[in-house]
């Protein structure tokens, strides 16, 4: 039995108004656990630590922690600080609406952040480093989605949504209550929202108290920065001299936007108002620019090929004066992400190798790349702080915490212990690595996660975990939905293969999957479960297969081709009918590259092979119970895919359930929906596997 009690609610007044906000503050839950097993409620009680921001003097760490309240069905982020050397954590905010985009002002005397004002519009606020003196410094009618200070503090850059298209209601002013939308080109919706505004960059004067005289540097242009749907302020950076801004943008519209991943880096000069394309002729994604401390070099993450969203992420550096560009990762068969300059000769970054994400170092003078850390974990970000590195780390057994890392030795020490009290009360399953020989005589990495208090003399049901992406490594991630410790706590052994089509095992391994969805990677899945279900503690008569997105596609495909291996399936947001998927998704570059192109092109052998292996073409073989889950706001894989699969199962006489969320997208983000997801997931598995 688990008892959860939220700490006493605190009501606050908005700092620029006498108006009271009666929303209860969400605080850290008080948890008493009478069982040492993970439950959905425990999973949603963990504090979620955000990325740290290092103070300009390298002495303090600013970070956020988000807690969720199940009864209120929402979360709230508060801000905290602590010394870089470790020690006492100071809570800076206690508010009901949550602070975002928290950063240090360049002089270190203020902390800036985005917070909702009394009109429910996000604005820029500032406070002293101890949390006092909180005041709003912007009044942007459309609201602020992100911001950053110029290094000289004379300007503030912010992003805001701009409406540039006329709606049906604008044109038909006598029909103000109509809800129709009229479109004449593609990319009219993206991921989980309709494309009705564009994120633009504004630069405003800043006098230390307020921002004034904002200029839209992308005025009247129907493209955006950051790039939707996931781009943030990491895609925009100031030059160290405060004279220019470099930002990423895909300056295309309509069909051209929908079929291309070709984004570029643009430099805007404040003095002249001139914008220059720095990466013209470079055809893939160019993202996340960062200047060297002296401003002489610009580094960024760069993909080579247009239309391939999972291309190798290369580490490019440009000499600002000569504009000469160098690929420093040309001989490095891994991705390079989350770039951070140390000194002018050193770049730190994160890279995945064989299913763990670690910190790497590039020395520009020698072009040498070396790994710094190694372990059963994922580092998710690295932030230089004087003579040490500050980093965030997760694993399959622990949510994110902040660590200090020695840049010479890689020795790490944990600085925050936000979830220690909860974790200390739980028995967690052991995580082991295995290698399995595939049908084409290659070695495949597999994670196995065992139940708490595992007894090798007993037999357990096992779950084959099918990864999404499709090009997304089964690394040491921590998930609040696909949580392996949650699965293990229900007495399942998890078999999680790094099948063909995943990064971290070389470019050839990653790229094999494109155009071969029903091919080698499916053989890899069956090889993994066949080999590991022979272990004496796994009951080969009680096997299930589960997965989301491409993992959901995999489950649908396996349902028609598993030859009685499995006794239960769960598919979340999966592709069922690839021909329908081609015309239902909004990101056409993805289906053009990974499926091979349109299904009507009979001359395209790759495309025709892909569509011939669509899961819906094997539905006549379905004979195993299946749970289908889908969200209505998922536009990458429309909910009709899940609905079609469920309908097919029922018409075939196969036991099936359909869990449908009208208010969720490709994920499940609301607490009560998340708990419903978990309960339905395990009730289904227990019904058929126990």
Residues acting as catalytic residues: 549, 634, 666
Going from the C-alpha of 123 to that of each of 82, 210, 287, 510, 583, the distances in angstroms are: 25, 11, 26, 42, 39
Token pair of 273, please? Answer: 């108002």
Token pair of 602, please? Answer: 């009979």
Question: What three-state secondary structure class fits 291?
Answer: strand
- Considering only CA atoms, which of 113, 88, 118, 120 is closest in space to residue 99? 113
DSSP codes of every residue in 24-83: PPP-PEEEEESSSS--HHHHTTS-EEPPPEE-TTS-EEEEEEEEEETTTTEEEEEEEEEE
Beta bridge partners of 360: 349, 371
Going from the C-alpha of 426 to that of each of 8, 49, 132, 418, 486, the distances in angstroms are: 25, 19, 37, 15, 11
Question: What three-state secondary structure class fits 557?
Answer: helix
Phi-psi bin for 354: left (phi > 0), alpha (psi -120 to 50), beta?
Answer: left
Handedness of CA 199, 202, 206, 210 (dihedral sign): negative
**Residues 191, 229 contacting (CB under 8 angstroms):** yes
Q: Which helix (H) or strand (E) holds 349?
A: strand 346-353
**Residues 52, 61 contacting (CB under 8 angstroms):** yes
Long-range contacts of 405-412 (CB under 8 A, 24+ apart): 405/359, 405/372, 405/373, 407/342, 407/348, 407/361, 407/372, 410/359, 410/372, 410/373, 410/374, 412/373, 412/375
Q: Which residues contact 67 (CB under 8 A, 6 or more apart)?
A: 26, 27, 28, 29, 45, 47, 48, 75, 76, 78
User: Parallel, antiparallel, or unpaired: how do β-strands 388-395 and 100-104 relate?
Assistant: unpaired
Burial 417-439 (b: 16+ CB within 10 A, else e): ebbeebbeebebbebeebebebe
Question: What three-state secondary structure class fits 445?
Answer: strand
156 vs 653: CA distance, rounded Å: 62
Token pair of 14, please? Answer: 């908005």
Whether a cis peptide bond, with omega within 30° of 0, leads into 226 is yes
689 vs 539: CA distance, rounded Å: 10
Q: Which helix (H) or strand (E) holds 609?
A: helix 605-612
Q: How far apart are the first and last CA of the chain?
A: 21
186 vs 163: CA distance, rounded Å: 17
User: Parallel, antiparallel, or unpaired: how do β-strands 568-572 and 538-548 relate?
Assistant: parallel
Identify the residue whose tokens are 């229900």.
490
Residue 382, phi then psi, degrees to nearest 5:
-135, 135
**Residues 122, 82 contacting (CB under 8 angstroms):** no
- Considering only CA atoms, which of 476, 335, 400, 296 is closest in space to residue 390? 400
| Angle subtended at Cα 96 by Cα 92 and Cα 102, rounded to the nearest 5 degrees | 45
**Residues 435, 443 contacting (CB under 8 angstroms):** yes
- Considering only CA atoms, which of 507, 474, 502, 472 is closest in space to residue 329? 507
């Amino acid at each position: 039995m688990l008892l959860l009690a939220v700490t006493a609610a605190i009501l606050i007044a908005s700092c620029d108004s006498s108006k009271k906000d009666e929303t209860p503050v969400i605080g850290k839950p008080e948890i008493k656990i009478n069982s040492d097993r993970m439950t959905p409620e425990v999973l949603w009680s963990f504090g979620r630590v955000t990325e740290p921001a290092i103070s300009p003097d390298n002495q303090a760490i600013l970070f956020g922690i988000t807690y969720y309240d199940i009864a209120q069905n929402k979360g709230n982020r508060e801000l905290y600080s602590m010394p870089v050397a470790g020690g006492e954590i100071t809570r800076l905010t206690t508010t009901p609406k949550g602070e975002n985009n928290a950063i240090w002002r360049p002089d270190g005397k203020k902390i800036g952040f985005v917070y909702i004002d009394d009109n429910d519009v996000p604005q820029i606020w500032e406070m002293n480093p101890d949390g006092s003196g909180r005041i709003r410094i912007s009044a942007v009618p459309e609201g602020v989605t992100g911001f950053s200070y110029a290094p000289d503090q004379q300007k503030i850059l912010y992003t805001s949504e701009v409406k540039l298209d006329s709606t049906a209601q604008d044109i038909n002013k006598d029909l103000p209550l109509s809800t129709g939308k009229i479109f004449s080109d593609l990319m009219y919706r993206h991921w989980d929202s309709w494309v009705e505004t564009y994120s633009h960059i504004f630069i405003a004067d800043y006098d230390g108290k307020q921002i004034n005289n904002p200029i839209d540097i992308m005025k009247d242009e129907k493209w955006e920065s950051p790039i939707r749907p996931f781009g943030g302020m990491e895609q925009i950076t100031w030059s160290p001299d405060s004279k220019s801004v470099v930002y990423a943008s895909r300056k295309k519209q309509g069909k051209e936007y929908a079929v291309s991943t070709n984004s570029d880096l643009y430099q805007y000069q404040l003095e002249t108002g001139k914008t220059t394309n720095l990466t013209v002729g470079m055809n893939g994604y160019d993202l996340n620019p960062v200047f060297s401390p002296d401003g002489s070099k610009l580094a960024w993450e760069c993909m080579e090929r247009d239309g391939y969203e999972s291309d190798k992420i290369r580490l490019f550096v440009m000499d600002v004066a000569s504009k000469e560009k160098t690929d420093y990762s040309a001989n490095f068969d891994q991705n390079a992400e989350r770039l951070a300059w140390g000194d002018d000769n050193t770049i730190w970054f994160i890279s995945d190798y064989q299913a763990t994400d670690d910190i790497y170092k590039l020395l520009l003078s020698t072009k040498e790349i070396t790994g710094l850390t190694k372990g059963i974990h994922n580092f998710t970000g690295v932030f230089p702080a004087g003579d040490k590195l500050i980093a965030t780390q997760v694993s399959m057994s622990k949510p994110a915490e902040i660590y200090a890392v020695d840049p010479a030795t890689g020795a790490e020490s944990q600085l925050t212990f936000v979830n220690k009290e909860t974790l200390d009360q739980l028995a967690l399953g052991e995580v082991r690595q295995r290698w399995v020989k595939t049908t084409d005589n290659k070695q495949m990495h597999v994670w196995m996660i065992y139940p708490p208090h595992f007894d090798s003399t007993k037999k357990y049901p096992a779950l084959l975990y099918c990864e999404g992406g499709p090009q997304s490594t089964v690394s040491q991630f921590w998930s609040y939905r696909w949580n392996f410790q949650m699965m293990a706590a229900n007495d399942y052994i998890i078999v999680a293969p790094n099948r063909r089509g995943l990064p971290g095992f070389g470019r050839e391994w990653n790229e094999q999957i494109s155009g071969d969805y029903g091919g080698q990677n499916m053989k890899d899945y069956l090889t993994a479960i066949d080999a590991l279900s022979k272990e004496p503690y796994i009951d080969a008569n009680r096997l299930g297969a589960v997965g989301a997105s491409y993992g959901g596609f995999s489950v649908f495909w396996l349902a028609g081709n598993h030859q009685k291996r499995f006794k239960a399936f769960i598919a979340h947001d999966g592709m069922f009918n690839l021909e329908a998927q081609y015309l239902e998704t909004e990101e056409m570059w993805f289906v053009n590259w990974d499926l091979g192109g349109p299904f009507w092109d009979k001359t395209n052998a790759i495309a025709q092979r892909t569509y011939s292996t669509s899961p819906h073409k094997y539905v006549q073989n379905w004979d195993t119970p299946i749970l289908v889950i889908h969200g209505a706001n998922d536009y990458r894989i429309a909910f009709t895919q899940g609905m079609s699969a469920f309908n097919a199962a029922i018409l075939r006489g196969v036991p099936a359930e359909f869990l449908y969320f009208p208010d969720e997208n490709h994920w499940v983000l609301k607490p009560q929906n998340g708990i419903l997801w978990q309960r339905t997931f395990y009730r289904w598995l227990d019904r058929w596997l126990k």
